[in-house]
Amino acid sequence: MTNAMDYELPEEMIMLRDMARKFAADRIGPNAREWDRTGQISPEVIKELGELGFLGVLAPEELGGAGIGYLGMSVIIEELARQCGGTALMVAAHNGLCCGHLLVGANDAQKKKYLPPLAKGEMLGSWCLSEPNSGSDAAALKTTAVLDGDSWVINGSKIFITNGAQAGVFIVHARTDPEASKAKGISSFIVERDTPGLEVGPKEDKMGMRASSTVPLTFDDMRVPRENLCGELNKGFYDVMRVLERGRISIGTLSVGLARGAFEESVRYATEREQFGKPLAKMQAIQFKLADMAMQIDAARLLVRKSATLQDAGKSSNLESAMGKLYASEMATRVCLDAIQIHGGYGYMKDIPVERLMRDAKLCEIGEGSSEIQRLVIARQLLDLPK
């Protein structure tokens, strides 16, 4: 299928897309069913993703990254998601959240220390905001960080942390001023995996995105060097908002990739499967479904790439990122459900990829701000309401 806006992609982005498409088809697609079953992406493929530069898409070249920006990231993640949502989520959280936060908040010394190994894929990164009692209301987080001599002592817990099972570095958000109003007393910290007091819990047994790891974390008098404060003291939540504004581009493009996978599988199946003496694709009811799927996928891609292009031009994309993420994620669930319908009973079976794509797609309506929160973000900006 010709993708809308691909005609506007610069030549180097088309080459990047083709490289990502081939890698994903050769190395990810054939393993996706198995990784979904075992909950584990093969370490060799993670290494290869690093060698291709896919784990350093946002980091500048002088820090070991590919420096290809948000449009480049959106092109790559769509191709990975087309084959395996869990792999795409791992790459999205690593680049968009962990590396993204370092790029927004870290000082030069921190960037030089942490970005090169992350960008080369020598280690994965996690970003830790959600807690048992604060999800959508993230600024209500309860984890505390108290300065004691040359270290911050962090106590509390996090849940649902992507890449947590393998990550070498965690960006942890904690309350540093208990007196300040919710969002004003939060700071961010860089935490290395072997830090005493950090306990990584067991992997969650999830509905979808199963290839990516999701874990709870506990901090028990975890001592982090004073210099690992990332960004300004008590201003961490503003960095969190900037990171999410950009991170939502990756969830939007991931949704587009999942939906495209479901659509392409449906076209193939509808062409091959015959009922009443003709292929399903000759039936108008199926043709209309396919037409609607293709239209929605292209519309979502246009919205998501608009926010990526704004970010790459150094402009704010808060409204556009929320619109892209909201539209693309809800579209992906609809398209995947239609794909299952087109596959009939076979679509309900685990051996057929659309079943997995549908389970993966549902997460995109929840993670990095649920659909309801995106609607609030959009409405606040349209109506100029206080945040």
Ligand X SMILES: Cc1cc2nc3c(=O)[nH]c(=O)nc-3n(C[C@H](O)[C@H](O)[C@H](O)COP(=O)(O)OP(=O)(O)OC[C@H]3O[C@@H](n4cnc5c(N)ncnc54)[C@H](O)[C@@H]3O)c2cc1C
Query: Which residues sit at the interface with ligand X, rule CB under 6 A?
Result: 93, 127-130, 135-136, 160-162, 206, 209, 214, 363, 366-370, 372-373
Residue 245 bears catalytic tag: no
Quote the least distance from Cβ 293 to ligand X, whole Å: 25
3-state secondary structure at position 214:
strand
Two structure tokens written together for 118: 């992350």
C-beta of 106 vs 167, nearer to ligand X: 167
- Find the residue with minimal CB distance to ligand X: 135
C-beta of 4 vs 241, nearer to ligand X: 241
C-beta of 286 vs 364, nearer to ligand X: 364
C-beta of 266 vs 318, nearer to ligand X: 318
Two structure tokens written together for 27: 């190395």
Provide the angle, in degrees to the nearest 10, between the axes of the packed helices 353-364 and 85-92.
30
Quote the least distance from Cβ 86 to ligand X, whole Å: 9
In our burial notation (b when 16+ CB lie closer than 10 A, e otherwise), range 148-169 reads eeebbbbbbbbbbbbbbbbbbb
Two structure tokens written together for 115: 């970005």
Quote the least distance from Cβ 67 to ligand X, whole Å: 24
Quote the least distance from Cβ 282 to ligand X, whole Å: 39
Question: Cα(76)–Cα(92) distance, rounded to whole angstroms?
Answer: 10
Q: What is the CA radius of gyration of the chain?
A: 21
Question: Cα(328)–Cα(296) distance, rounded to whole angstroms?
Answer: 8
Active-site choice (79, 320, 365, 368): 368
Distances in whole angstroms, Cα of residue 126 to Cα of each of 108, 157, 203, 354, 372: 20, 14, 14, 28, 24
Residues known to be catalytic: 368
